[in-house]
């Protein structure tokens, strides 16, 4: 347990999106329901001033209408129709799917949550037959997948990786955050929380085939070793982005190592992580650092079950990926686009996650 936690964090302020001309459009109730997570009946009451509505609920709906009706979201894809294949955790998948729908991009979103490699390759193999349609992809960096994408690129297909990168010669561009720096940030948060005293911490690893997971782990380990040598990683749980597997492995880890003071999860499965911590009675004295601000992590952060969430804005990342997918070569293409990320607490939930 940490004797003292003195972290002075400057509240993160999300950057304004610069637009030359703001064009407004009509927004449907369905879009608002998807954006806010509120029921259709609640949104209808707000929009038609029927019945009693809490002021906070009204504000959430008004902010959603503003975000959805202006170009402050994502401009539509101007090039050929594109395909987006997402093989990520449930929370991130839901965010990316909503961002894709709001973008009004021409093409299709393929949710491959927990799909095995054969299923994934079958879908991507079919999509690669049409080299005129760009492919945006978030998936594991496996040999079979990268071989398939290299062949497609050789035939002229545009491939953009998002959130988690693949081998450089298997894609045209990557959009995401600096995941190694994100892992270093997690180490800094936990190391400072230790107050200069010895501590034992653990990691929850997803799958190192995801390059984002691998880079976060490397950054975390290196920064602890370099700056906080008294903070030792004494446990590792494998969650595979699955709440059930994460729960099982973390519960076993906490039972075997009751002296653990902090846990850093490089991937998904955060509900299982928190449930395991609750079950062993450690919810009040365990520092928990996770990634992403989505419909799973935001409530956990607000409830105090998670202390810190490291995240960028997935909608802005997708916006850039769409731009690259439709960009004309060579001048408009960038091989790697790293966007800002932030440290969030229950006190500075960002605008893009306020309605979750």
Q: Which helix (H) or strand (E) holds 173?
A: strand 173-176
d(CA 212, CA 157): 24
Task: Output the pLDDT for position 15.
Answer: 34
Strand order across the 231-238 sheet: 231-238, 199-205, 262-265, 287-291, 308-311, 342-344
Write down the pLDDT at residue 193.
Answer: 95
The kind and range of the H/E element at 274 are helix 270-279
pTM of the model: 0.78
Domain ranges of the chain: 29-69, 82-177+313-353, 179-311
Q: What is the pLDDT of residues 232-250, one digit of tens each?
A: 999 999 988 889 999 999 9
CA distance 2 to 76: 49
What is the signed CA dihedral for 331, 333, 334, 339, rounded to 10 degrees?
120
What pLDDT score was predicted for residue 333?
A: 61
Distance CA(27)–CA(33), nearest Å, equals: 11
Q: What confidence score (pLDDT) does residue 78 get?
A: 54
CATH code of domain 82-177+313-353: 3.40.50.2300
Per-residue pLDDT tens listing for the chain (356 residues): 444 443 333 333 333 333 333 445 677 787 787 667 677 888 888 888 887 788 878 887 887 787 676 544 444 445 678 999 999 878 888 888 888 887 778 899 999 988 899 999 999 999 999 999 999 999 999 999 999 999 999 999 999 999 999 999 999 999 999 999 999 999 999 999 999 899 999 999 977 789 999 999 999 999 999 999 999 999 999 988 889 999 999 999 999 999 999 999 999 899 999 999 999 999 999 999 999 998 889 999 999 999 999 999 988 899 899 989 988 765 556 689 999 999 999 999 988 886 55
CATH number of 179-311: 3.40.50.2300
179-311 has the same fold as 82-177+313-353: yes
Q: Looking at residue 1, what is its pLDDT?
A: 46
State the pLDDT at residue 10. Answer: 34
At residue 329, the pLDDT reads 64
Calculate the CA 42 to chain-centre distance.
Answer: 28
29-36 helix and 55-69 helix, angle to the nearest 10 degrees: 110
Q: pLDDT by residue (tens digit) across 96-150? A: 888 888 777 889 999 998 889 999 999 999 999 999 999 999 999 999 999 999 9
SS3 293: coil
**CA count, 13 A, side-chain hemisphere, 222:** 13
């Amino acid at each position: 347990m940490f004797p003292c936690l003195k972290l002075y964090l400057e509240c993160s302020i999300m950057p304004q999106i610069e637009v030359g001309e703001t064009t407004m459009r009509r927004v449907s109730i369905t879009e608002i329901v998807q954006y806010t997570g509120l029921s259709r009946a609640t949104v209808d009451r707000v929009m038609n001033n029927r019945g009693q509505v809490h002021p906070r609920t009204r504000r959430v709906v008004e902010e959603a209408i503003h975000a959805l009706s202006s170009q402050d979201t994502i401009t539509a894809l101007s090039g050929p129709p594109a395909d987006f294949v997402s093989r990520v955790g449930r929370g991130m998948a839901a965010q990316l799917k909503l961002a894709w729908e709001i973008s009004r991009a021409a093409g299709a979103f393929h949710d491959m949550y927990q799909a095995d490699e054969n299923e994934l390759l079958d879908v991507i193999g079919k999509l690669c037959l049409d080299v005129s349609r760009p492919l945006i992809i978030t998936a594991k960096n496996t040999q079979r997948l990268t071989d398939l994408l290299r062949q497609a690129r050789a035939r002229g297909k545009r491939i953009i990786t998002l959130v988690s990168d693949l081998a450089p010669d298997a894609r045209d561009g990557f959009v995401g955050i600096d995941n190694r720096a994100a892992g270093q940030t997690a180490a800094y948060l936990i190391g400072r929380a230790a107050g200069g005293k010895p501590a034992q911490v653990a990691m929850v690893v997803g799958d190192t085939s995801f390059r984002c997971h691998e880079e976060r782990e490397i950054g975390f380990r290196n920064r602890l070793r370099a700056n906080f040598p008294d903070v030792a990683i004494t446990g590792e749980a494998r969650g595979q982005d699955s709440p059930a597997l994460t729960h099982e492995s973390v519960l076993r880890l906490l039972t075997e190592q009751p002296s653990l003071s902090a846990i850093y999860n490089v991937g998904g499965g955060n509900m299982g992580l928190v449930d395991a911590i609750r079950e062993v009675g450690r919810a009040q004295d365990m520092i928990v650092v996770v990634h992403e601000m989505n419909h799973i992590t935001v409530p956990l952060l607000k409830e105090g079950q998670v202390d810190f969430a490291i995240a960028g804005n997935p909608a802005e990342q997708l916006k850039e990926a769409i731009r690259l997918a439709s960009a004309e070569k060579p001048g408009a293409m960038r091989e790697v686009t790293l966007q800002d990320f932030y440290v969030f607490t229950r006190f500075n939930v960002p605008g893009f996650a306020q309605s979750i």
